[in-house]
Amino acid sequence: MFRGLTQEQLAGRIATTKANISRIENLKQGYTQGLLEACADALMTEPASLIMRNPLDRDSFWSLWEQAKPAERRRIMEFARGIAKPRKRRTAS
């Protein structure tokens, strides 16, 4: 259950069946780009999010990002930029 929706509720929002959603989640059936985009719209997220991360992992960066308020997101970005700066290489003396 993600965003409070069951498989059945998600299926109803995107005109497919619960069985199709279950098979896709269990890697027994492929999906189309259209289905991926419809699921993302119904779940209020981006298509890439559905295939790149586990939405149930509450400690993941993206889960924290989604819960953050705008001011908190700005601080997160400032912190991330600070730790992601390229380091100068030390030269051997």
Angle at 21 between CA 13 and CA 67, to 5 degrees: 65
- Sign for the CA dihedral angle at 29, 32, 34, 37 comes to positive
User: Of 1.10.1060, 1.10.3470, 1.10.260, 2.60.40, which CATH number belongs to 7-84?
Assistant: 1.10.260
Angle at 41 between CA 36 and CA 47, to 5 degrees: 40
**CA-wise closest residue to 33 among 15, 17, 18, 50:** 50
pLDDT in tens, the chain (93 residues): 567 789 999 999 999 999 999 999 898 999 999 999 999 999 888 898 888 877 667 777 777 777 889 999 999 888 888 888 776 666 665
E strand or H helix at 51, and its extent?
A: helix 47-52
pLDDT of 75: 92
Q: Is the pTM of this model over 0.85?
A: no
